[in-house]
Each structure stands twice: as structure tokens, then as C-alpha cells.
Structure 1
């Protein structure tokens, strides 16, 4: 027994019912809008496609046959002389031909429309740091959020938080990268970090990884942040990152949330060699990225005619405003017929002052209250600051 082309292991059965274990995998089906009728041997057959199945009603269907939509088989779950039901295959949005073939009676065809379309978007611009809530409205979505994905180029995503057949809500997030720096060389005189200078984007992380440069090498390594490109770990003031005790092999990872230049050093090796380098953290650029709303691996079409304001439970409508005096660049959208999201530093909040607060005191963690900044929400329950305990 198969389901969706995959083996469904039968665990019990009888003359009228069979129970099997559903195979691994997931069927993410585009909803359809269709109600068509056609003649088969002078008998009218009604085809009604809803959700993830099609049902045909008529007469003289015989005892078996097949149904295809486009080039894909519509797997039959019921076949009788007067009705046929089948599980629709996943297809791209558009019009496809449905063909019903009744064994011994011939075949007939009509068209079925697969609809997956975005017709509204609540926001099409936001911070380069992510965090913008976007609500896409339309038709053909799914109530199973695991079937839905919203892509934003190669460096951002929009994580789906809520969904229904008519809408989804997602939050923009940068896709972070972990970069690697390794020790290279053959001896204490030649060993160094590679690459010595590395450029990363805010939010990325860097992993320093070291191992023996030769079978008999006993060199030990560590990494620490220093104030200048000529300082050693012995000069570090403990305000930056530090990997701890020197080891022959190991690794150390640091995340870099803010732009800036970070100098680092390794141990002072025999012969006075110091392994040094720097990490340059840059802000993500202004850019317009095409949004791709996907159900399974099928992308929606776009006909955005309006916008909607996103409301969160207990909060005022979220309306992101650009920073005062910040010039929004004119970002082009090269392809018509698609939906684009504009990422701007002008939409990135800036905190300029903090004050101590005791309203939300947590053990081992003092409270903070934001008392100044730009592009922060006027609703206090939307301006949330978190930080790790130390």
C-alpha cells in the first residue's frame, strides 16, 4: 500500500478498512479553487476540488481507473460506480488539466486552477538588523506553518510565526554566518593565524580553531582581544574576549553584534613570535531583496494591491518610522511582478542612554530602562532590551 508514492506499512486490515503507518515526509498542498463539469459517455460528472482532495460525482465510473492533474497522478482514496475521490499532487500555481480515465469507458478532461497568491503586505521595509513583523495576505496558504517559508535573498529570512489559509505573519531575521580562523605554519617561527584580517557582518560569529602544526609540535595556543595591533595577551585589560588557558588543540567562538574593529593576539611563542590579527565588523548594507513565499517548494504569485497594519496582543499597531534626518536611498526593484523588501539602517533603532531601574529586578541581574534613543516604538511594551547575566 502506498500514500503519496511512498510505502505505507499495513498494520491491520479487513474487507472494508485498512490501517497503515504513514510514511516519513510531508505533503504541503496548494489549495485549489475549482468546480467543473464534463461529459463522460453522455453522463455528467461533477469535479469538486477542495483543500487537498478532489471528488468526482456521476454515474458509470466502473470499479477502477485513474485521475491525473497535469502530469502528476491524483492518488485515488475512493472509487465507486458513482463517485471518485483522490489526493491532489503538489503543483505550481496556475491552471492544470484534470483527466479522469474510467477503465473500459474512456476518458475526459477539464481544467483545475491551483491558487497560491500574495495580495497584500503589511510592511515592505525595515531594519538591516531584522525584527520587522510582516503580514502577507492572500489565498492558498496553509494552517501548517511548517509547510510555509518566506525567503529574503541569501542573507535574510522571514521566520513564519502564525499562519492560516488566507494569511501568514513572519519576522525578518538576518542569516548569520560562522567564520573560521585557523593556525597555519610549520614551526614557532612561521606559525600564524589565517586569515589574519577577516571582515564579517554584524551578527556573525568567528571560531578560532587550532591544532598541532606537526606531529611532534608541543606549541600551545589561546586567543585574546587586545587594544591595538601591536599588543600582546599580557597587555589585555580583560574587557574583551579571552579563550582561557593555552592548549595544544582547541577552539573558541565569539559573536560580533556591533560594527567595529577588533584586534586579537595569540600566545608569545618561542623566538618571540606573536600571532596577531584583526576582525572588521561591518553593518549590513542598504538593499532591496525579493521576497519569495513558498508552500513546500512551490512559490506564490504576487498581486499586491494593499497593505495592512500588524497588531500584536496588548500592543499598539506596529508602525516603523525611519530615523529623523536619515536619507533613505532609492533602492531599485529590478523585476516586476514580484514583492521586494527594503532593508535600511534608517529603520534600525539606536539606544543613546540607559538608566538603572528596579521595576523588573531579577536575581543576579539589575534592571535597565531605555531613556533615550531613535526609532524606538512609542509603546513601551514594544521596546524590549535583553542582555545576559554575568
Structure 2
């Protein structure tokens, strides 16, 4: 149960501080010319904003820590390493509360090597600390309820201000306090304290959090573990999801490819439009010391017609002309997809999904049209014929 005596005392102090009349409530609204209104101070894409808290939610082992490292490097090097816009002249503080410094050094070095970030680009602009060396505790649970550790908050504010930090990443959020994770009142109090810190220091704060178990279903930010108050206090929330086996098949990723592919979806955006999902993958980077380290990079979903052009379509049309192949992929060797696979050097079984998408697109464009012929039991069956001929 919360200490209402403490709360009342704090309210009295707040009223006393504003008793001079300058800040009395309510405050009248004063209209301003829209041209003179300041724009929102975005820092990175439409996710990180000055004076606001953002939350990244993901299951374990997907790549959230590696993602935030590359994003940190993008911000301090002023380069769009993952395709996201970044403000200039930023300083970033990565505070990882789980991994030792040696592991962080490996990850950052591998990310710099893979994305060709030079030491001079980040010197004096990237700060890294770990919970193994210095624990971070912003709140503790007492008999009376959760209590914010004010000295800790004051020290963070001092360091952020003195170093002129623009972005602070806390990974993971659950390790930054000792309150009950499922206590929504406690989580609300802690999250709002982080928001006040962001506002006070004119910086953006990213809180990295885990999802609860979703039993194989795609997660949203609403699936974040513990109390929902964390997401409620954030102005931007995004979720990471590992690529499903069905998606891997659709993308043409071979079964022996052990690379981790994942999506980044901003599905809570109070101050910007909801973002479409972006694809990332973890690539293995070999360092000179013999270690192999995973690094996040951009990955684009393959286009159905990647590697093919109108000449290839013309070749397919010439191969189809006069043969009346069957439209159904259940027609065995009579399926039109067998001809498409042969002409384009694809596999009619392994690339079936892609071939079917090609045929559907050509039908929609009019390059192919449906016809019919008598089947084995003397009944009409759908066929594919050439429609409008392609030009080179």
C-alpha cells in the first residue's frame, strides 16, 4: 500500500513552490501563429524524441541489444546505418545491466567493423556502462510501497547533463529497479520518473523490455512482461518478432540458413503515425581475435521479380505459346509453373510460392490470361495462355 502521508507531503511542497502566483492553475491558452510553433524534436526516426520515453519490447534472443548498439552507432556517427534518419551531433549512453564490459566491447567492435564505423567517428560521443560494474537501481519495494531512489535519479541527471547526453538506453528495464514487475502502480511510478528525467535533461530515454510468452503467436507491445503502465508512460513503443517458419519459406530462405531474421514494428506511436514493420537480420562477424559476434543489419524482403526483367517474361511467354499448360499447381508436370521454373532456372517445388506469385502478377497485368481445354475426364479445366506480349 502506498504511503499517502508521503504523497500528501510532496503535494504540499509542490503547492508551496508554486504559491507565488506565477504558476497558478488553470493556465489560459494563448494562440500562436502555426508558423512560429516549434517542431517536435525527433532524434532518431520517429521513435526517439527529446523529453520523452520510448520502449522496445522483444522476446529473448531475438537481437534487441545488438539492434540498440547499431542504432547508437548510427546516431553518434551521423550515418543511417539501418535506414533510419538521425539528428546530428548526438551523444549516446548505452547502459547494459546484464552483460559484462568484455561482451559489450565485442559487440560494439563487431558492429563497427561490419558497418565500417571508424573510431574517430564515435570518440567522445558514445558512452558505455554495465550493471556488472555499477548496478542501477531507481526504485525499491518497502512495506509502505515502492519508493523512488532519489539519489540515484539525481546522479543520473547530473551525469546526463554534464556529458550532454542526448539518448540514454537502459537494457533491460526490469534490472533497473527492485519493485514488483507485475505491480502496475509501482511500474507506473518508475516509468513516470524516467519520463521526468528525460524532460528535465532534454534527452530521449529508451527502455528495453522483455515480452511475456506468447505461445508462438506474433507479439505486440501489449505483450510486454509485467504491468502495462510502462507502455502507457511511453510516447513510442516498438516490438521485435522473429521470422516465422512460414515466412522463411515464403522468403525463399533455405532450411540450413541459421541466420536470425526479425521485424521491428512501431505499433504504439502517440506523436507520430504508426510505423510499418521493417526487417532486420543478425549476421555473424568474425573478429581478428577469432571470436564470431552477431550484428544487426537491414534486410529487405525479396521482391517476387528480383533478378528478372521483361526479357525473362518474353521468354516465358514464348515457352507457353501454343502449349495451353494447366493453371492448377495440382496438375503435376502439366502445371504452367513447371515451364516458368525451367525458363527462369527456378525449382518448381522449392520455389512454388514465388512462381505462383509471378503467375498471379502476370495474370493481373494481362501478360498471361486464362483459357480452358478438356481435361482427362472430358471436362473443361483452366489453362494459361499468352495475353499481351512483353517488349524488351
Taking structure 1 as the reference length, the TM-score comes to 0.24
Taking structure 2 as the reference length, the TM-score comes to 0.24
> Which structure would you say has the larger Rg?
1
- Normalized per residue, the structure richer in helix is 2
- Highest relative contact order (Cα 8 Å, sep 6+), 1 or 2? 2
